[in-house]
Amino acid sequence: MSATLLVAHPHALVGESVRMDGEDVIWLDPAGRRLLRWNPGEKRLDEVPLGQALWSLAQQPDGTWVGAGEDRFFVVDIRTGALTPGPIAPLAPGCRFNDMTVDALGGLWVGSMHRGLLHARGGLFYAPSPGAEVVQVAEGLGVANGIAFVANGKRLLVVDTLSRTLLAYPRREDQLSLDEPTVVTDFLNAPGKPDGMAVAPDGTVWVAMWGGSCIVQLAANGATERSVPLPAPHVGSLAFDRDGVAYVSTSRARLTEAALAEHPGSGGLFAVSGLF
């Protein structure tokens, strides 16, 4: 049986992009231009101010941390908050970067979305390194959100929040090319909208459900295997530590005062143990 505990409460307006840095948990509050760090051993929450809003983080194989800003990648010093910008990406008008991941060679892959949440304006972009030219590799998405490689890098999974689907893009050998995607799941019977995504130590895929107060585990055929409730409506992102504990970020955005009073942990970081 799983157990859920509120471990840190930075009152994040939007809690995004949970990642593990050794034993520490790091995540972002883009609206507050903050990088947040939770040390489980010392039970200490640290805040690192950022000069730009970052919407996601990923670590390259050499240990370098990279962030996705509004329209470019940044090399990120996660201790000081120093940002080194890369080239501007060829985004459509009104669009910005969103969630990102890194492939086995250190290549950067990021989704985009329209700030006004218009359909079919989002896409996928790639750069071989933070300082390299960014190119578009897919289009026609709504809000490209949780993103991760599976099947030894041969498939790129991407959440499209607006269409409420999880897509799988077959990936070719030449790094840039993605074949036409297939729909893995439409999250039938799962509450809320799919947001961030993580692959657990056992290889299963888990998705945070914005507005659904839960994280869900997907079966190989896309069915919802399990739904684990969280005491906060807006569940944004998650990551797993080596022991299989899920650290889950939540948000306070678009919640009424009554909803915040009912769910006082909104904007905090939760630890969910006993999943495996």
CA–CA separation, 58 vs 70, rounded Å?
15
CB-CB neighbours of 75 under 10 Å: 17
Cβ pair 15, 251 in contact under 8 A: yes
Question: Average of pLDDT values for 232-248?
Answer: 97
Residue 174: its pLDDT value, please? 64
Residue 161: its pLDDT value, please? 97
Is residue 112 scored above 90 in pLDDT? yes
pLDDT class of 175 with cuts at 50, 70, 90: low
What φ, ψ does residue 258 adopt, rounded to 5°?
-65, -40
The CATH label, of 3.30.565.10, 3.90.1150.10, 2.60.90.10, 2.120.10.30, for the domain at 3-273 is: 2.120.10.30
CA–CA separation, 218 vs 162, rounded Å?
19
Residue-wise pLDDT tens digits, 39-95: 999 999 999 999 999 999 999 999 999 999 999 999 999 999 999 999 999 999 999
pLDDT class of 257 with cuts at 50, 70, 90: very high
> Over the chain, what is the mean pLDDT?
96
CA–CA separation, 27 vs 238, rounded Å?
9
| Domain ranges (residues) in the chain | 3-273
Residue-wise pLDDT tens digits, 7-43: 999 999 999 999 999 999 999 999 999 999 999 999 9
Cβ pair 70, 96 in contact under 8 A: yes
- Which residue in the block uniquely carries the two structure tokens 């041969």? 154
CA–CA separation, 33 vs 256, rounded Å?
23
Residue 266: its pLDDT value, please? 98
Say whether 262 sits in a helix, a strand or coil.
helix
